[in-house]
């Protein structure tokens, strides 16, 4: 099979992609979800701690709206924020009806299951719902480029594991490929979240906006011989964040009043810890003085046992550092998920406008449900009207020649890109560093990526597309000279 036809093509199988596919399928259309691996698994939703910010629980819709705007430095699209604050409770109730159990928090709900199962519970429920609804899945394929005709997107070309190409014709395409954090040396995303989806949208005619806003999460435990572990936000407030000299870093960087610090000031805390890293200091979270009551936080999921087992947190401080966590910029959408390109929709992390300059904790998962639903409904409506599109026009031959004589293998090229992004486009940026980054990215692009055999072709294409996204992030960071939110210039 070299070609297939569907009504709505969803690229990406995380929370946003699955919710979009379910809604489009409920409208009676043929829906196909394209995934780089097994659907749902290598996604940020699956790896999450299952926290959904939402009104209707610990806060009102107005409070959700105002807090999101405040955290985003009021650079958010108000229409998108209003849609999130109004629709999140409805979307969460639907998930509850599918068997996901929640515990209420002061800002919404948390999946009632211990990590790392929290996110998987939500993604498994969505997967089962999608399959029951009749959504088709196309797994272990990489989207190489979107197909455009007369300024309208009508499908994509995908690369299978064996290197063969596949033309997917569609009346509407919804991009839900996630962010770009895995193009950084230190990150907490699945390794497949390398930003290649942004390049596909850009080359199809969608402008990328606010790409400089990359959110770094400050509390990640990194110790030898232990799994990289996200530290629950409440521990950042109850424990002491210190450096090698024992200095209290919340006091040193005037963050004692910004609590919960990992929710409301994760941008400032990440910069503080990154500065310590640049100065050669290690950073630690000291949990030794925590009382039994402090460890028994109702949203902790009994993490005490985990931290004692892996990090010996009862006898020594836990080494940690900030990591790339969430991409705030992307393709601009309206409140129905439409982009500026006809036939092209987006939802989730790849879309831009909801978070402004900084994302409020908990909004990422709520965004997947609210805007996945809206994009699915909008794309279905468009597909019903687009009678002349989505029909077979013959398989498009993908030329692998540009990926046969590059200088680096895909994994080597990605490793080089990750070093550049971490060192020069990280939490603290300078004009000199950003110019150096652009020169290095251009050099990597010119050298090219080489696939040793057909099985590496998909990875080679994805990494090459990542170069385009990396350049957009560095370009945006160079152009925005003022520091705001998740973008910080030190010059």
Write the DSSP assignment of 196-228 as a string of letters.
HHHHHHHHTTPPEE-TT-EEEEEEEE--TTS--
Q: What is the mean pLDDT of residues 213-231?
A: 86
pLDDT of residue 196: 97
Note the pLDDT of residue 1: 61
Choice among 204-213, 386-395, 472-481 with the minimum mean pLDDT: 386-395
pLDDT at 368: 98
Answer whether 486's CB lies under 8 Å from 328's CB: yes
Query: What average pLDDT score do residues 219-223 get?
Result: 88
Half-sphere exposure of 266 (CA within 13 A, CB side): 28
Q: Where are the domains of the chain?
A: 3-213+328-385, 215-325, 402-479
Confidence class of residue 254 from pLDDT cuts 50, 70 and 90?
very high
Cα(335)–Cα(235) distance, rounded to whole angstroms? 35
pLDDT at residue 130 greater than cutoff 80: yes
**Bond into 116 cis (ω within 30):** yes
Is the pLDDT score of 180 beyond 90?
Answer: yes
Q: What region does 172 belong to: left with phi over 0, alpha with psi -120 to 50, or beta? A: beta
Which pLDDT value is given to residue 257? Answer: 85
Nearest partner of 182 among 488, 408, 414, judged by Cα: 414
Average pLDDT over residues 189-201: 96
The mean per-residue pLDDT over the stretch 340-368 comes to: 96
Max mean pLDDT range (206-210, 259-263, 360-364, 390-394): 206-210
Of 74, 242, 237, 161, nearest to 454 by C-alpha is: 161
CATH fourth-level superfamily of 3-213+328-385: FAD/NAD(P)-binding domain (3.50.50.60)
pTM for this model (two decimals): 0.93
388 pLDDT higher than 60: no
- Quick check: 209 pLDDT over 60? yes
Range 379-414 burial, b when 16+ CB lie within 10 A, else e: bbebbeebeebbeeeebbebebeebeebebbbeebb
Contacts of 417 (CB under 8 A, 6+ apart): 183, 441, 444, 463, 466, 467, 470
What integer is the mean pLDDT of 205-215?
Answer: 97
Question: What mean pLDDT is reported for the chain?
Answer: 92
The pLDDT score that the predictor gives to residue 301 is: 56
Q: What pLDDT band is residue 138 in, cutting at 50, 70 and 90?
A: very high
Angle in degrees, 0-180, between the axes of helices 363-385 and 78-97, rounded to the nearest 10: 90
Cβ contact 214:181 at 8 Å: yes
Question: Where are the strands (E) in 95-221, listed by range?
Answer: 102-105, 108-111, 136-138, 141-149, 152-160, 165-175, 208-209, 214-221
Question: What pLDDT is stored for residue 41 in this prediction?
Answer: 83
| 215-325 belongs to CATH 3.90.700.10 | yes
pLDDT over threshold 60, residue 112: yes
Where residue 6 falls among pLDDT bands split at 50, 70, 90?
very high
217 contacts: CB under 8 Å, gap ≥ 6: 188, 230, 262, 266, 270, 322, 323, 325, 326
How high is the pLDDT of residue 232? 83
Say whether pLDDT at 296 is over 90: no
Give yes or no for residue 187 having a pLDDT over 80. Answer: yes
Is the model's pLDDT at 391 over the cut of 70?
A: no
Number of other residues whose CB lies within 10 A of the CB of residue 442: 12
pLDDT > 70 in the chain, percent: 96
> How far apart are alpha carbons 235 and 294 in whole angstroms?
9
Residues linked to residue 172 through DSSP beta bridges, in sequence order? 8
Residue 27 CB burial class (10 angstroms; 0-12, 13-18, ≥19): middle
Average pLDDT over residues 309-318: 92
Residue 356, burial from CB neighbour count under 10 angstroms (0-12, 13-18, 19+)? buried
The CATH T-level fold of domain 402-479 is Methane Monooxygenase Hydroxylase; Chain G, domain 1 (1.20.58)
Whether 415 shows a pLDDT value over 60: the answer reads: yes
For residues 167-171, give the mean pLDDT: 96
- Residue 314: CB atoms within 10 A of its CB come to 11
Q: Which residue has the higher pLDDT, 360 or 260?
A: 360
Given this model, what pLDDT does residue 476 score?
A: 98
CB 14 within 8 A of CB 368: yes
Q: Check whether 398 has a pLDDT greater than 90.
A: no
pLDDT of 97: 96
For 411-423, what is the mean pLDDT?
96
390 has pLDDT over 80:
no
Find which of 31-40, 116-125, 386-395 is predicted with most confidence, using mean pLDDT: 31-40
Q: Which of 17-26, 297-306, 418-427 has the lowest mean pLDDT?
A: 297-306
Residue 116 has what pLDDT?
Answer: 61
Across 367-375, average pLDDT: 98
């Amino acid at each position: 099979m070299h070609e297939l036809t569907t009504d709505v093509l969803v690229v990406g199988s995380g929370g946003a992609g699955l919710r979009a596919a379910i809604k489009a399928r409920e409208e009676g259309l043929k829906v196909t979800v394209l995934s780089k691996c097994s659907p749902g698994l290598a996604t940020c939703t699956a790896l999450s701690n299952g926290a959904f910010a939402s009104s209707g629980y610990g806060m009102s819709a107005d409070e959700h709206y105002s807090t999101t705007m405040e955290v985003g430095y009021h650079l958010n699209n108000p229409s998108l924020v209003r849609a999130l604050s109004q629709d999140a409770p409805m979307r969460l109730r639907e998930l509850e009806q599918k068997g996901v159990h929640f515990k209420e928090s002061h800002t919404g709900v948390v999946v009632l299951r211990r990590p790392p199962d929290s996110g998987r519970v939500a993604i498994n429920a969505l997967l089962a719902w999608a399959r029951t609804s009749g959504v088709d899945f196309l797994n272990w394929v990489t989207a190489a480029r979107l197909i455009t005709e007369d300024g309208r997107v009508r499908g994509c070309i995908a690369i299978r594991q064996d290197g063969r190409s596949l033309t997917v014709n569609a009346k509407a395409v919804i991009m839900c490929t996630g962010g770009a954090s895995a193009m950084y040396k230190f990150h907490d995303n699945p390794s497949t979240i390398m930003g290649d989806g942004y390049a596909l949208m850009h080359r199809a005619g969608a402008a990328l906006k606010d790409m400089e806003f990359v959110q770094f999460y400050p509390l990640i435990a990194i110790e030898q011989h232990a799994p990289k572990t996200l530290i629950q936000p409440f521990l950042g407030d109850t424990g002491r964040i210190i450096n090698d000299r024992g200095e209290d870093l919340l006091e040193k960087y005037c963050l004692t009043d910004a609590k919960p610090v990992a929710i409301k000031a994760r941008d400032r805390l990440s910069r503080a810890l990154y500065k310590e890293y640049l100065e050669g200091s290690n950073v630690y979270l000291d949990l030794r003085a925590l009382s039994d009551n402090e460890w028994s936080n109702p949203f902790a999921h009994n993490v005490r046992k985990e931290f004692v087992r892996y990090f010996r947190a009862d006898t020594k401080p836990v080494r940690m550092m900030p990591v790339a966590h969430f991409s705030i910029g992307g393709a601009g959408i309206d409140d129905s998920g439409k982009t500026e390109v006809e036939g092209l929709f987006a939802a989730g992390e790849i879309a831009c406008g909801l978070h402004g300059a900084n994302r409020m904790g908990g909004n990422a998962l709520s965004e997947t449900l609210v805007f996945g639903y809206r994009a699915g409904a909008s794309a279905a409506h468009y597909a019903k009207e687009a009678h002349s599109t989505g029909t077979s026009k013959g398989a498009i031959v993908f030329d692998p020649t540009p990926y046969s004589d590059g200088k680096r293998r895909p994994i080597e090229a990605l490793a080089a890109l990750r070093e550049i992004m971490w060192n020069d486009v990280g939490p603290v940026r300078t004009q000199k560093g950003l110019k150096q980054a652009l020169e290095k990215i251009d050099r990597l692009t010119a050298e090219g990526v080489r696939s040793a055999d057909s099985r590496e072709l998909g990875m080679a294409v994805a990494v090459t597309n990542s170069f385009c996204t990396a350049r957009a992030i560095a370009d945006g960071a160079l152009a925005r000279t003022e520091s705001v939110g998740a973008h910080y210039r030190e010059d």
